[in-house]
Structure 1
Amino acid sequence: MKRYLYLWHRWLGIVLCLFMAAWFFSGMVMLYVGYPKLTPEEHLAHLPELPQHHCCISMGAALAASERNAAPLAVRLSSVAGSPRYLLDYAEGTNLAVDARSGRLVTGVDTDAALASARQYADDAGVIYRGLVHADSWTQTSALDKERPLHRVQLEDEAATLLYISSQTGAVVRDATHVERVWNWLGAWLHWIYPIRDHPWWAQIVIYLSLAATVMALLGQMIGLLRWRFSTPYRLGSRSPYPGGFARWHHIGGLLFGTLLIAWVFSGLISMNPWALFSNASQLSTEHYRAGLLGPESDPEPVADTLSRFRQAGFSVHELHWQVVGGTVYRVAYDSMGESRVLARGSAAQVLMQIPVQSLQAAVSAMGPDHAVEFQLLESYDAYHYPRAEQSMYGNQRKRLPLLRARFDDAVSSWVHVDPYSGALLQQLDQRRRASRWLFNLLHSWDWLPLLERPLLREGLIIGGSLGGLIISLSGVVLGWRRLRKKRRPRKAAR
């Protein structure tokens, strides 16, 4: 039986140790340089204040101009190419834009329009058009599918920023600095095996490579313990059968870091949601939460009056969103720093910091009317709601406090997270998704509050563990190469 353990570990290692080494090295890079993304802070910082006079047609007129019968999922009034524009997000996989001054549907974003949009973002830097692409090295994400194809524009700024601009709306949807582009060849691009990202079997390849690597690591840990002399040392006085060289490095390194290696590789497998094991099974209704759709009659108040009311409250509006919560239409305004204010429909409504908790609770309760629900207003971060650094995978998600959490007693113990500042449904977490949080986020990224609050300690531990993983993997590569060379030599002699 032992012989088969050794054989399986050896041949799996010959195939997989190079992948393991690449994963550990690229993981260290990703700790400091994440895959390019446009964060909400970056987006808002480059938007001018919405004009006070001669601003915009009404939201209803913009919806009519969209020539869509269905209601949009989201509507926002932003600035594109230096002028106000409605951006409409529809469920059928399309994003549309309507010029907020002329009421004209934007039917195509050409080169000149893309350059004008880039100039708004670039401030005083020069811009150079780099062509139209469906996808490239820095846009490998389904989040941009509604925006494709994408215009690329190079900025002549200190960071050598490359902008990606939606051909559907003209909005900047991604930025990638020179530093991000260079390091990501050794970071996310290598870690997620993005060279084959367009292959239809990419996800399955990553899943089964991770599964095989997990099995290999488990076998290695078993063998390492079997070969270690806990009582009587070997003849040369060592408790390891290997007196020195790469074999000893591999054995000792595996005993010291093997458990951590297993946790990292297994949690990497979980990140791919293999065989949909961790897909959300919650049946709570988001339609009941909204209890209404955005339509031409949703907000009859002129936009100029709405903007004026925010300004009278001392708030500078750089972007305006419409949100329906429990049948009430709210206007959510954002300034250039990402701060927000809300204003309900109606002339008597007041500008508020947050939507009233009672209104949010009533809307959330409607999501599962047949189930009891328990509410909690979270005033501090915990294991399921916490911020991450910008370079992390979730660095583009804002995690503000307080947070409204609702726990339902349905079959899958659903949790719902709501942002009181905007009324947005942030998450639905059933038992599977909460388990995934521990099996992936904790084991893989060490998303544990005591460590997240001590970033230098966390980074030091991750780097140390990754170097241990590199010792195991690279020594395994050398041992595998030597084994293959031994296999080849007898054939040459036979000739």
Structure 2
Amino acid sequence: MPVSSRRPASLAKLGRRWLYLVHRWIGIASCLLFAMWFSSGLVMIYVPYPSLSPAEQLARAEPIDWRAVDVPPPLDTRQWPQDLLLEMRDGIPVWRIETWEGERRTISAHRGAVLAQVDAGYAARIARRFGHASVAGTERLARDQWTVGGGLDQHRPLWKVTMADPLGSELYVSSSTGSVVQSTTRRERLWNWLGSVPHWLYPTVLRQDNAAWRQVAMWVSGPCIAAAIAGMWIGILRTRLGRHRFSGGRASPYRGWMLWHHLAGLVGGGFLIAWIVSGWLSVDPGHLFRSIPPAEAAVQTYAAADQVPAVQIDRLATAGAGAVRARLTDYANTPLVVLDYGNGRRTTLSAASLAPARATIRAIAAAARRRQAGASLIALDRLTTPDAYWYEVGGLPRLPILRLQFDDPASTWLYVDPATGEVLATADRRRRIYRWAFDLLHKWDLNALTQHRPIWDLLLWLASIAGLVTSISGVWLGLKRLGLKRLQRRRP
């Protein structure tokens, strides 16, 4: 045989050998991780990571004591701040302000009232009102397992208040705003130790350093991707479906645990590869999916009324009776007062006349064009049902919603509240690709599935069971091989 014909054959043999070695030895560790990820993922379907939703915050908030409000909103005569709202704080109405420079302030809305310091006693009072139960203890901390994410950085240090209620609730009070910003129950904490914490590689000691956590997530997932692809490739190579079957007419040459591993890998291998690759993409390696935010000046232009009207507090007190929050906004150059109630109801009033009012579509479109630096608006739709990018897995998002599509270089889509003009979400080309590359492949969160449960649950369970069989059988086979190797080394 010529040398040139022997070389490809030897290279193919060497490549196949390395394929088996990679799958065999990396697969032992990766199968342990896969088994953990599949089982914890099933837990997360039903018990997500603890969070305090805006709806729950409103439901437990105190109604505004309008009789005590005698300080007008602290408005600049030239420009409204980025955020300005009125709510109760420890029995006193307060104005909360966030400037365009990022400064946050809380000012008493009752002349002469002194705001209490956010100490242990304050935290206990707030938690008692919020949780409707007595307090068992308070603790000041920077972060713990349920407050480790960066979203709470502006509220640190936190006061953790343990409640003496049947749910074993723990409430976290912000040292900056004095509000409850996180809530957990005994059930949530227990199941999350079996769900989100292992699934996300989320122990506090690691997650508190975001850069280190991202690196660990990427480098742990990488070898698992290699093992999964190698296993799928081997599974296909070792399958015979035509006339040249194995003895007894079998499609697989294996028996026992190897047969289970082979068949389950063929059935669930595609899902496993899609899942681990999308999991790796979840931390956005190389920031491939990072959006370029619009210029701050453009955002201010979107939310900057030409005139700042004086809000009449006495008339607002009548119009807002029973409200738990009053927010002054000027989105789309339309000054409004947005009243939120504990039952979820919302009312929008003109800031000048306090008559019912809404932002107009014309005003929203004009302001959105300025926000997008003059890009052309190529489509404007009013959605009454979720679309592929405005949706929620556990229910329905806020509807109706306006979807504005632009022809700017990033191909930006804006999702805008038609009542207030507030931009609730932005989806440029990169974020839309990320939605399919991560969310769909990792969560199977198509509206056709999530809006028709338990079909979604059933499909996830079936795929996860195939993955668990593949993983557990791989662990068992790996342990057997390691035990056999150890015995062979001990033989004289």
* TM-score, structure 1 normalization: 0.89
Q: Deviations over 1:212-244 (max 9, x none)?
A: 222221111111000011222222542212121
2:179 matched residue in structure 1: 171
1:470 matched residue in structure 2: 468
Moved more, 433-442 or 7-16: 7-16
1:356 matched residue in structure 2: 360
Give the deviation of 1:282 after TM superposition.
5.5
Q: Which amino acid aligns with 1:16?
A: S
Q: Greater Rg, structure 1 or structure 2? A: 2
Q: Which amino acid aligns with 2:157?
A: P
Q: Which residue of the other structure, out of 8, 24, 33, is the alignment partner of 2:38?
A: 24
1:239 matched residue in structure 2: 251
2:67 matched residue in structure 1: 53
Q: Deviations over 1:331-375 (max 9, x none)?
A: 11101122211123213x5223x4222222221121124321031
- C-alpha distance in 1, partners of 2:451/2:112? 48
1:338 matched residue in structure 2: 344
Contact 2:329/2:337, CA 8 A, preserved across alignment: yes
* TM-score, structure 2 normalization: 0.89
Q: What SS is found at the alignment partner of 1:53?
A: helix
- C-alpha distance in 2, partners of 1:149/1:381? 38
1:376 matched residue in structure 2: 381
1:79 matched residue in structure 2: 88
Give the deviation of 1:169 after TM superposition.
1.4
Q: Which residue of the other structure, out of 139, 144, 158, is the alignment partner of 2:152?
A: 144
Q: What SS is found at the alignment partner of 1:31?
A: helix
2:7 matched residue in structure 1: none
Counterparts in 2 of 1:337 and 1:256: CA distance versus 1, 3 Å: same
Note the 1:92-171 alignment, pairs <5 A: 95-102=104-111, 108-123=117-132, 125-171=133-179
- C-alpha distance in 2, partners of 1:365/1:72? 21
Give the deviation of 1:328 after TM superposition.
3.5
Q: Which amino acid aligns with 2:121?
A: D
1:438 matched residue in structure 2: 436
Say whether residues 1:287 and 2:300 are aligned partners.
yes
Q: Which residue of the other structure, out of 240, 249, 262, is the alignment partner of 2:260?
A: 249
Give the deviation of 1:102 after TM superposition.
4.1
Contact 1:27/1:187, CA 8 A, preserved across alignment: yes
Q: What SS is found at the alignment partner of 1:8?
A: helix
**Cα RMSD between the aligned structures?**
2.5
Q: Deviations over 1:87-139 (max 9, x none)?
A: 3345666644223224668584101111111122122x111223011111111
Contact 1:282/1:412, CA 8 A, preserved across alignment: no
Counterparts in 2 of 1:269 and 1:145: CA distance versus 1, 3 Å: same
Note the 1:389-408 alignment, pairs <5 A: 389=394, 399-408=397-406
Counterparts in 2 of 1:182 and 1:72: CA distance versus 1, 3 Å: farther
Q: Which residue of the other structure, out of 176, 180, 184, is the alignment partner of 2:188?
A: 180
Gaps of 5+ in 1: 65-69, 391-397
Counterparts in 2 of 1:467 and 1:333: CA distance versus 1, 3 Å: same
Counterparts in 2 of 1:93 and 1:252: CA distance versus 1, 3 Å: farther
- C-alpha distance in 2, partners of 1:22/1:93? 41
Moved more, 481-490 or 175-184: 481-490
Q: Which amino acid aligns with 1:203?
A: R
Q: Deviations over 1:177-200 (max 9, x none)?
A: 111011000011111111221244
- C-alpha distance in 2, partners of 1:488/1:93? 62
2:271 matched residue in structure 1: 260
- C-alpha distance in 2, partners of 1:272/1:56? 48
Give the deviation of 1:148 after TM superposition.
0.8
Q: Deviations over 1:397-449 (max 9, x none)?
A: x8211111111111121111111233321112111100111112211111111
- C-alpha distance in 2, partners of 1:79/1:429? 34
Contact 1:159/1:177, CA 8 A, preserved across alignment: yes
Q: Which residue of the other structure, out of 4, 17, 25, is the alignment partner of 1:11?
A: 25
- C-alpha distance in 1, partners of 2:155/2:99? 12
Give the deviation of 1:85 after TM superposition.
2.4
- C-alpha distance in 2, partners of 1:93/1:148? 16
Counterparts in 2 of 1:156 and 1:91: CA distance versus 1, 3 Å: farther
- C-alpha distance in 1, partners of 2:115/2:445? 42
- The percent identity for this pair of structures is 34
Contact 1:109/1:167, CA 8 A, preserved across alignment: yes
Counterparts in 2 of 1:338 and 1:218: CA distance versus 1, 3 Å: same
Contact 2:68/2:109, CA 8 A, preserved across alignment: no
1:305 matched residue in structure 2: 315
Contact 2:139/2:160, CA 8 A, preserved across alignment: yes
Contact 1:60/1:299, CA 8 A, preserved across alignment: no
Say whether residues 1:324 and 2:324 are aligned partners.
no
Moved more, 171-180 or 77-86: 77-86
Give the deviation of 1:307 after TM superposition.
2.9
Gaps of 5+ in 2: 1-14
Q: Which amino acid aligns with 1:372?
A: S
Counterparts in 2 of 1:76 and 1:103: CA distance versus 1, 3 Å: farther
Q: Deviations over 1:445-484 (max 9, x none)?
A: 1111111111111111111211111111111111222222
- C-alpha distance in 2, partners of 1:104/1:43? 24
- C-alpha distance in 1, partners of 2:26/2:294? 41
Q: What SS is found at the alignment partner of 2:335?
A: strand
Contact 2:332/2:421, CA 8 A, preserved across alignment: no
Counterparts in 2 of 1:319 and 1:283: CA distance versus 1, 3 Å: closer
